[in-house]
Structure 1
């Protein structure tokens, strides 16, 4: 599973949580020519000390994209979080092709589509289209919602005793960020051809079950409250969530309501060599953080 370990491998967004973990996993699996792209190279001095080449890569700066992709054979484009990310990411795909990159992996989302009601999910669709149209080999990694989100959002949930969602009881196949990173690294090291894959945990979990896990692990009662998409959007924005991010979170919930997040695949195991961690196991491992 490491046939491309001696290829020159670029990870964009290497200063972020996922990108950094991908770089670390590549090193752990014997990759010899790892390039980390980031807007602020000074933040990755520790990776540079491990032999990683750090390059400035700003998705809004065409010159930096050209220089970051120069000499790269295989690249992972980690999706950005910005209102103009379709433009950012399609520019990156164009820069990769112009530089002679042979293979692209991209972190997408489940059921990527162009519908106007899909929030930021449409950005993933158009980026996928750009990757497919590039003529390069690719793996489109449709990452399901991170299990890590249950820890990051635990504070307000536990404080209020209420878990709000618009999933209509639909399950989500939570995947840990670490499993997603291992999967992306594995794709860079081994994938060939052209493929679209869902990156999932081992089984879908409903929000009712998530509420029960919060209660079980902390002793604090949590009740799941079902809302409409419009109600959830308003609540998120009232809580200070930026409109772009609120729209994306609501879109994820509405897709879960339609069953798009209940998909189960073996993608994590295929590319990482290990079974994905369950949500309960992940939350249990982070019990101290949940409890505050």
Structure 2
């Protein structure tokens, strides 16, 4: 493929993995859009074009998207400002004549009541009204979201949460990156919404996986959303972050992150990475 492919947030954990996946696919030219080019100097040495732009800087994105045919818009992290920031990128993509924009969203964003879903829903609404052909990559949870909790659970023998018997269909961050690269380098995706997730586990089952990979007995302790948020605050998380994470567990309890479509495996051509593989590597560090 000779179309120019760009990735926003390319120095981040997901963005860098997407660029690596694009390189493996011999896509090109590849454009890495970052706030700090020094962070991706190694990618520049491998032939990736590095362009500087920050969410909220529309003029910088006009320059960064010049000549870009396909774009991955990785959702930002400035909660409360994300819809406006994403809209600026979408408008720049319109002006640049981008032929496909893929956006990293959340499962069932159009109806998902989770706090984390609200800005994704707003961004999807902007894209739905835009002139840019687009595709929604509704990424489920990452197993990496549990690596710190898994290490603590192995140490103390308890995995805390407020998800009850709800199921979460997570996958490795690299799986979602590979799916994005597949969409950016093949045709037939415009207008699609992919619900992406891997193996589905309850938290008691996740505690059992942690037990297996750590060699230590781990049980699951379920508390209310408010109690879990308070516990996260006591462990040093800022209040807004603690409440968003506790609310995410409630979303899991209510089934909003249980993805059964098989879309992820279909895009990457294999089963998603098992949770034991991700957590074993994290606990071993």
Give TM class, smaller chain. Answer: over 0.9
Render the CA deviation track for 1:109-136: whole Å, top value 9, x for unaligned: 1132478x63232011101111111132
After superposition, the Cα gap between the structure-2 partners of 1:149 and 1:107, relative to the gap in structure 1 and judged at 3 Å, is same
Show the counterpart of 1:290: 283
Distance 1:279 1:191 in 2: 30
Instruction: Please report the RMSD computed on the Cα atoms of aligned residues, expressed in angstroms.
Output: 1.8
Once residues 114 and 39 of structure 1 are traced to their aligned partners in structure 2, the CA distance between those partners, rounded to angstroms, is 32
* Aligned counterparts of 1:94 and 1:189: Cα–Cα separation in 2: 22
Q: Specify the alignment match of 2:73 in structure 1.
A: 77
Indicate which of 188, 194, 198 corresponds to 1:197.
194
Structure 1 counterpart of 2:239, from 233, 238, 243: 243
Q: Distance in 2 between matches of 1:131 and 1:152?
A: 34
Matched residue SS, 1:194: coil
Alignment: residue pair count: 283
| Aligned partners of 2:93 and 2:132 also within 8 Å | no
1:90-109 alignment runs, 5 A limit? 90-109=87-106
Residue 173 of structure 1 pairs with residue 166 of structure 2? no
* Residues 1:265 and 2:261 are matched in the alignment: yes
Q: Which deviations, in whole Å up to 9, do the C-alpha atoms of 1:179-209 show, x marking residues without a partner?
A: 00000000111143201111111x3101101
Q: Which digits, 9 at most, give the CA deviation of each residue in 1:202-225, with x for residues without a partner? A: x31011011111112212222211
Query: Aligned in 2, Cα 1:139/1:210: closer, same or farther, shift over 3 Å?
Result: same
| Correspondence for 1:144 | 140
Q: Distance in 2 between matches of 1:60 and 1:277?
A: 35
Q: Report the alpha carbon displacement of residue 61 of structure 1 after superposing the two structures with TM.
A: 1.7
1:88 corresponding residue in structure 2: 85
1:183 aligned residue: 179
Q: Counterpart of 2:120?
A: 124
Task: Report what 2:156 is aligned to.
Answer: 160
SS of equivalent to 1:131:
helix
Does the residue aligned with 1:67 lie in a helix, a strand or coil? helix
Shift in alpha-carbon separation, 1:238–1:154, aligned structure 2, 3 A? same
Q: How much does 1:40 deviate?
A: 0.2
- For the 8 Å contact 2:116–2:248, the answer to whether it is kept is no
- Which residues of structure 1 form unaligned runs of 5+? none
CA distance in 1, matches of 2:170, 2:119: 21
Query: Is it true that 1:34 corresponds to 2:30 in the alignment?
Result: yes
